Amino acid sequence: MESTIFQFQDIEKYTNEFQLEKKVQIPMILKEEVAEQLFKYCVLEKNWTLSTGFDQMKFQKKVGKPFEKANAQQIKKVQDKFKNDHFSYIFHRSMNNDTPSYIEFSIRKMMSSPAFIESIQQITGLEVTELSTLFLSKYRGGHFLSPHSDKGNGKLAFVLHLTKGWKPQYGGLLHFMNTEKTEVVRTFCPQFNQLTIFEVPEKGIPHYVSHVVPYIKQDRFAITGWYK
């Protein structure tokens, strides 16, 4: 992968939209062959961890037969917490390894490059300078991320969607809420090779990923992270 694997085709349009909404979706952010390579990586990735939690508790175990019982028990706990309106989440996670693969190294290098950050700065008007956390997620049937604010994670959040053929009725939608968390004010549906960026103010911004419907065949892949 080269540093020129990304493309911002209409920066003025995205700049205007971001200034109005403090969030924007940028389609076809990667060159086609690179997006396809990343999608293949997601499909073939074997090093998944079940990432779950509620309130301030976190639980991570490898996905696989030896951990099926422990993972199932934890999923049940998280589902019960969600029913009682606690912050909670369930999804598979990867690409935050001590010894990253070539693909992971390349995507981090690309999104940390001066050219990429300069484009982000131009669109957002924010003085972001450094890529913070970055990880790969996979949402399957029953997975979700309940309302939260991203407070303290960074100044700008991003989601690089790598899902093919996703439909709104499958769930897994990114919903933004009003400050009181009483209604949804904007919804983004994952689209392949699309970058979503949104500002994270000092107090955070309420948002969540809705439950993926049971027994869905597709997986919802995304690379998520923040800029400081």
pLDDT at 101: 84
Pairing of the two strands 88-94 and 49-54? antiparallel
As a whole-number percent, the residues of the chain with pLDDT over 90 amount to 87
Residue 208, strand partner residues:
175
Tell whether the model's pLDDT for residue 133 goes beyond 90.
Answer: no
Residue 209, strand partner residues:
145, 174
The predicted model scores a pTM of 0.94
pLDDT at 92: 98
Asked if 137 and 91 touch (Cβ cutoff 8 Å), the reply is yes
> pLDDT digits over 32-84, tens only?
999 999 999 999 999 899 999 999 999 999 999 999 999 999 999 999 999 99
Pairing of the two strands 49-54 and 57-62? antiparallel
The residues, ordered by sequence, that sit 6+ positions from 186 with a Cβ below 8 Å of its Cβ are 21, 23, 175, 176
pLDDT at 103: 86
The residues, ordered by sequence, that sit 6+ positions from 68 with a Cβ below 8 Å of its Cβ are none
> pLDDT digits over 156-179, tens only?
999 999 999 999 999 999 999 999
* pLDDT bucket at 122, cuts 50 / 70 / 90: very high
Tell whether the model's pLDDT for residue 201 goes beyond 50.
Answer: yes
| Angle CA 154–159–161, to nearest 5 | 170
- The CA radius of gyration of the chain, in Å to the nearest whole number, is 17
* pLDDT bucket at 149, cuts 50 / 70 / 90: very high
As a whole-number percent, the residues of the chain with pLDDT over 70 amount to 97
pLDDT at 97: 62
Task: State the Cα–Cα distance between residues 207 and 196, nearest whole angstrom.
Answer: 13
Task: State the Cα–Cα distance between residues 71 and 147, nearest whole angstrom.
Answer: 22
Task: State the Cα–Cα distance between residues 141 and 17, nearest whole angstrom.
Answer: 33
Task: State the Cα–Cα distance between residues 109 and 111, nearest whole angstrom.
Answer: 6
Tell whether the model's pLDDT for residue 2 goes beyond 50.
Answer: no
